[in-house]
Every structure is written in structure tokens, then in C-alpha cells.
Amino acid sequence: MALFVLGMKCVICSKPIDRPDRVALFRPFVSNECDPLWMFNDRAFHSSCVDEHPFGAKARARQKEVIELGAPSARPCAVCNRIITSPDEFLPLGFFSEAGPLSRYNYLRFHRSCLPRWQDLTRFLNLFRAEVASGGMKGQAIVALLKDLSGGRDEGK
Ligand SMILES: [Zn+2]
Ligand SMILES: [Zn+2]
């Protein structure tokens, strides 16, 4: 959750947020810096500014979805179909896109030990790398995820 101090400026209107009951806080729920919702990531707003913003409703819905579908118990491992109980083994993909070829991989998760047995791994990594190379996805979390999924190898080396 974004760190909030009374008097902090709202990202949308730049005016101070002076009432704790009128604040809308977003946690770090977007990893792709090219996502139109990136501006909400880990930030504080007036609740009314979020209500009126063209992406406000979408940001609230996405954050809810990320929290619900991102929970370890929300879905089983896409390879072995068992719920992942060990945090060390939990490898979630998170959200990629609303449409397009990567959207079918939204919120998939794996046991680390199961990932190499995923039949779609090569196809998925090729799509993911192409999206990053074309500038459609960027950011530290994206780079870290791609590296992790590539077996710890740095891309392009
Ligand atoms: Zn505001
Ligand atoms: Zn598994």
C-alpha cells in the first residue's frame, strides 16, 4: 500500500489530501510502466479525483483483481494443478494485458520446480520477449520477471 501522510499531494489534481476519509490509496498493483494504469501504482489520491478520472474505475477494478487472483491460493499451479503452499515455490506471472496473445497468460502461476515442464513455456517467453523488445512492456518488475522465467539468465547476453 502506498505510504500516506496527511497533506500529501494528490497525483491527479496536485492539491493536498487533507482528510483521511477522502483518500484513495493504491498498492503496487501494476508492474508494466507502459500500462495506462501505471500512474495509479503505489500512489495516493483524493477518492473523488479517482471517481472522476477516465481510468479510475478501471484502476480500482484491476487492483481488486490483482489482489484476488494474485493470492497464492486463488488458483493452482498451471502445470501440476495443485495449490502452491510454499512461498519459495510460488512463481506468479501477474497481469499482462487485456487483449492480445499474452492475455491468456494473465495470473498464471507455477511451482518453480514445475515451470520447466510447462508446455507453453517457449511460446510464452517468445511472446513476452517480443513485447518487451517492442517497448510494449517495460519496468524493473518486468525485467526481473523475464529474467526469473528465463532461468536467471540476463536477456540479450
Ligand atoms: Zn485530487
Ligand atoms: Zn506445480
Whether residue 67 has pLDDT greater than 80:
yes
Evaluate whether residue 95 is within a structural domain: yes
Report DSSP letters for 90-139, one per residue. Answer: EEE-----SSSTTGGGTT-EEETTTGGG-TTHHHHHHHHHHHHHTTSS-S
* 80 and 140 together in one domain: yes
Evaluate whether residue 154 is within a structural domain: no
Residue 73 carries which DSSP code?
A: T
Reported pTM: 0.88
* 50 and 79 together in one domain: no
Q: Which ligand is nearest to the CA of 17?
A: 1
Say which amino acid occupies 157. K
Mean predicted confidence (pLDDT) in 55-63 = 98
What percent of the chain is modeled with pLDDT above 70? Answer: 95
Q: From ligand 2's centre to the CA of 148, what distance in Å? A: 16
Residue 55 carries which DSSP code?
A: T
What angle (nearest 5°) sits at the alpha carbon of residue 48, between those of residues 42 and 53?
70
Evaluate whether residue 38 is within a structural domain: yes
Mean predicted confidence (pLDDT) in 126-148 = 95
- List b or e across 97-121, with b for residues whose CB sees 16 or more CB atoms inside 10 angstroms: beeeebeebebbbbbeebbeebeee
* 61 and 122 together in one domain: no
Q: How many domains does the chain have?
A: 2
Average pLDDT, the chain: 93
User: How does residue 20 score in pLDDT terms, banded at 50, 70 and 90?
Assistant: confident
Q: Which ligand is nearest to the CA of 116?
A: 2
Q: From ligand 2's centre to the CA of 91, what distance in Å? A: 10
